């Protein structure tokens, strides 16, 4: 509780995150976490929003904050991940996620990864989206950054049945020039083809 007021944004955000993972209700923390919604750090604002939702606050308020961060270079990926974690309660945010999956935010070679995170969130919430699958496939084959390809392949392995349409792209990744990409594609396929 004391750390929620820390002058270091990352400490205050970490405290909010920790509290919201320890319990699903803590009324005494709510006012301090709400103050973090005006924090200059976009990442801290996203953590505050999801923490409030985890502690039982209104899902629409959380969605609005997270949607507003989908255009941020510093918080786009985090906001998408948190919307994805909200599941069905984030369904009204699917269009915002798909829109964000089409837009770069000036993050250079990471833009495609951030777009893929938005697409994955939309796919998880909807259960099926050709547009989202296409964006994820672009990231999986993105030639300029092997870290992006490796990470996307690894994440696909954890998506279960939703990633089934991407199995052909993962098979193509078995021929990627980067050993890490090939390894993660192999691991992802071993998980997905068992299902």
**Rounded distance between C-alpha atoms, residue 53 and residue 12, angstroms:** 17
Collect all residues with Cβ–Cβ distance below 8 Å to 27 and sequence separation of at least 6.
Answer: none
Comparison of pLDDT for 168 and 195, the residue scoring more: 168
pLDDT of 29 reads 94
pLDDT at 160: 95
CATH topology of domain 94-195: 1.25.10
Q: Are 188 and 172 in contact (CB under 8 A)?
A: no
Residue pair 163/194 in contact (Cβ under 8 Å)? The answer is: no
Instruction: Give percent of the chain above pLDDT 70.
Output: 99
| Statement: residue 41 has pLDDT above 70 | yes
Q: At what angle do helices 42-54 and 59-68 cross, to 10 degrees?
A: 160
């Amino acid at each position: 509780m004391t750390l929620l007021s820390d002058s270091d944004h990352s400490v205050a955000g970490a405290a909010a995150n920790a509290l919201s993972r320890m319990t699903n209700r803590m009324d005494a923390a709510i006012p301090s976490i709400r103050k973090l919604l005006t924090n200059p750090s976009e990442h801290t604002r996203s953590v505050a929003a999801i923490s409030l939702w985890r502690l039982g606050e209104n899902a629409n308020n959380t969605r609005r904050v997270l949607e507003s961060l989908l255009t941020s270079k510093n918080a786009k990926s985090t906001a998408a991940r948190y919307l994805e974690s909200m599941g069905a309660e984030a369904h009204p945010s699917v269009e915002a996620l798909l829109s964000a999956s089409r837009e770069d935010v000036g993050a250079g070679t990471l833009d495609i990864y951030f777009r893929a995170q938005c697409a994955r969130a939309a796919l998880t919430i909807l259960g099926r989206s050709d547009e989202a699958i296409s964006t994820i496939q672009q990231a999986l084959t993105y030639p300029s950054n092997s870290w992006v390809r490796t990470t996307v392949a690894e994440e696909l392995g954890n998506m279960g049945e939703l990633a089934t349409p991407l199995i052909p792209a993962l098979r193509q990744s078995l021929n990627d020039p980067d050993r890490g990409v090939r390894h993660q594609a192999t691991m992802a396929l071993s998980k997905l083809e068992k299902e």
